[in-house]
Amino acid sequence: MNPIRYERRRYTTGQTPIEKLERLSQALGGPTISIKRDDQLGLTVGGNKTRKLEYLVADALKQGADTLITCGAVQSNHCRLTLAAAVRDGLKCQLVLTEPATGYEPQASGNHLLFHLLGAEKIEVIPADGDMQPVMEKLAQELASEGRKAYLIPVGGSNEIGTLGYMACAEEIEQQAWETGTPYDYVVTASGSAGTQAGLVAGFLARHSSTQVIGVNVSRDRTTQEAKVLDLLRSTAEMIGLQSEIGAELISCEDRYVGPGYAIPTEEMVEAVKLVAQTEGILLDPVYTGKAMAGLIGMIREGRFAKEDHVLFLHTGGSPALYTVPELFIPKES
Ligand SMILES: *Cc1c(COP(=O)(O)O)cnc(C)c1O
């Protein structure tokens, strides 16, 4: 097993910090909670997609691509960061976006504003239930007919190459645990397109670490998400020749904090975002980390962890979406 053999761009200087959340830990009265600040990764506003893109863009450059094409929601952090990586490496970038349930708003703020500011070459909006892959392929063919070369990146950057970014993160966490003498019993992360969770599990496995990864779902039910993570873990392990037994027991997903659906706010999310802001001054986001933290808080309250446990919460980024939902956080005047 050697992901080091894969080429990697570098978008972050050094490691992201791990900070102890003393006030939050005290407020919850459970295990010791620390946070890995992947919201401080490099590229515009940071977040977990930066790590995946280090490997994906290296692969694109190796293949001689001049344009990145990817897809996602109108508030996709992944689209923002793919575009930022393209800017950094002198590539063009085209985006395929799915229309939100409330309709596409051409003036939408948050990440959508940044798509324009960072200079997306093309933005194509398709119906909410549309299939993004054929649209990306059509754009790639159009570029090919002009003598250009596109590199397609799937939703969330979650294929085997992108997943290497979170194997590397597990390695980084192990090094930091070693330096500070604090091994982590659990890492808790939001789980969406699954590359983050699958990569962390692969990385800890490769290191023979006993750290367990708990994914908090942001869209799917438990069975579906666990199968998705396991599939990606297996195909990544196969790609790199990881010689380990890979069973379903490595994957643990929690689906009770999704609420009515992807990106739909829940009370628990609002409580979690406020609590972390007001105890630690750290901004979470309403779509991923807010629900993941709601999951961590809920699991603590139901006694899932021992008081002596060390839990590392992975801050995967996403704060631009916060500014699209002021009504959730500003008290209404009576
Ligand atoms: C994409 C994303 C996630 C989910 O990571 P996956 O690898 O897709 O499971 C979590 N948090 C934020 C802020 C994201 O943008």
**Model confidence pLDDT, tens digit, residues 132-152:** 999 999 999 999 999 999 999
163 in ligand 1 pocket by Cβ < 6 Å?
no
> Among 288, 289, 296, which residue has the most ligand 1 atoms within 8 Å of its CB, making it the best to mutate?
288
Q: Tell me: do 170 and 54 sit in the same domain.
A: no
Q: Residue 138: inside a domain, yes or no?
A: yes
Q: Residue 334: inside a domain, yes or no?
A: no
Q: Tell me: do 175 and 33 sit in the same domain.
A: yes
List all residues 6 or more positions away from 327 whose beta carbon is below 8 Å from its beta carbon: none
81 in ligand 1 pocket by Cβ < 6 Å?
no
- Cα gap 68→82, rounded to integer Å: 8
Q: Can you list the pairs that 10-16 forms with residues at least 24 positions away whose Cβ atoms lie under 8 Å? A: 10/42, 10/54, 11/41, 11/42, 11/43, 11/50, 11/53, 11/54, 11/85, 11/88, 12/41, 12/42, 12/50, 12/51, 13/42, 15/172, 15/175, 15/176, 16/40, 16/41, 16/172
Question: Predicted confidence band at 312 (pLDDT cuts at 50, 70, 90)?
Answer: very high
Q: Tell me: do 277 and 302 sit in the same domain.
A: yes
Q: Tell me: do 120 and 163 sit in the same domain.
A: no
Q: Tell me: do 216 and 323 sit in the same domain.
A: yes
pTM over 0.85: yes
| Mean pLDDT calculated for residue range 259-266 | 97
Question: Predicted confidence band at 2 (pLDDT cuts at 50, 70, 90)?
Answer: low
Q: Output the six-digit token pair for 18.
A: 């791990």
- Cα gap 211→12, rounded to integer Å: 24
> Which atom of ligand 1 is nearest to 196's Cα?
7
Q: Tell me: do 97 and 30 sit in the same domain.
A: no
**Domain hosting residue 118, numbered range:** 49-157
List all residues 6 or more positions away from 306 whose beta carbon is below 8 Å from its beta carbon: 31
Q: Residue 119: inside a domain, yes or no?
A: yes
Residue ending a domain, choose from 157, 179, 214: 157
Q: Tell me: do 260 and 174 sit in the same domain.
A: yes
Q: How far is the CA of 176 from the centre of ligand 1 (A)?
A: 22
Residue 76 a catalytic site member: yes
Let me know the angle formed at the C-alpha of 325 by 75 and 38, rounded to the nearest 5 degrees.
55
Q: Residue 205: inside a domain, yes or no?
A: yes
Question: Predicted confidence band at 3 (pLDDT cuts at 50, 70, 90)?
Answer: low
Q: Residue 34: inside a domain, yes or no?
A: yes
List all residues 6 or more positions away from 60 whose beta carbon is below 8 Å from its beta carbon: 68, 91, 151, 153
Q: How many Cβ atoms sit within 10 Å of the Cβ of residue 4?
A: 11
Q: Output the six-digit token pair for 2.
A: 């050697």
Q: Output the six-digit token pair for 20.
A: 């102890």
| Mean pLDDT calculated for residue range 22-48 | 98
Q: Tell me: do 211 and 289 sit in the same domain.
A: yes
Residue ending a domain, choose from 157, 180, 202: 157
Question: Predicted confidence band at 321 (pLDDT cuts at 50, 70, 90)?
Answer: very high
Q: Residue 316: inside a domain, yes or no?
A: yes
Helix%, strand%, coil% for the chain, nearest 5: 45, 15, 40
Q: How far is the CA of 201 from the centre of ligand 1 (A)?
A: 15
> Which atom of ligand 1 is nearest to 156's Cα?
8
Q: How far is the CA of 197 from the centre of ligand 1 (A)?
A: 9
**What pLDDT is stored for residue 1 in this prediction?**
45
- Cα gap 246→273, rounded to integer Å: 35
| Mean pLDDT calculated for residue range 152-164 | 98
Q: Tell me: do 11 and 54 sit in the same domain.
A: no
285 in ligand 1 pocket by Cβ < 6 Å?
yes
| Mean pLDDT calculated for residue range 67-86 | 98
Residue ending a domain, choose from 102, 131, 157: 157
The answer, yes or no, to whether residue 41 has pLDDT greater than 70, is: yes
The answer, yes or no, to whether residue 16 has pLDDT greater than 50, is: yes
Q: How far is the CA of 232 from the centre of ligand 1 (A)?
A: 15
> Among 50, 74, 77, 322, which residue has the most ligand 1 atoms within 8 Å of its CB, making it the best to mutate?
77
> Among 38, 41, 43, 48, which residue has the most ligand 1 atoms within 8 Å of its CB, making it the best to mutate?
48
Domains in the chain: how many in total? 2
Q: Tell me: do 177 and 107 sit in the same domain.
A: no
Q: Residue 333: inside a domain, yes or no?
A: no
> Which atom of ligand 1 is nearest to 39's Cα?
13
| Mean pLDDT across the chain | 96
Q: Residue 208: inside a domain, yes or no?
A: yes
Q: How far is the CA of 119 from the centre of ligand 1 (A)?
A: 23
Q: Tell me: do 55 and 124 sit in the same domain.
A: yes
Of 102 and 274, more confident: 274
> Percentage of residues in the chain with pLDDT exceeding 70?
99
CATH code of 306's domain? 3.40.50.1100
pLDDT tens-digit readout, 196-224: 999 999 999 999 999 999 999 999 999 99
pLDDT tens-digit readout, 284-293: 999 999 999 9
- Cα gap 284→316, rounded to integer Å: 9
Q: Tell me: do 131 and 181 sit in the same domain.
A: no
25, 34, 76, 219: the active-site residue = 76
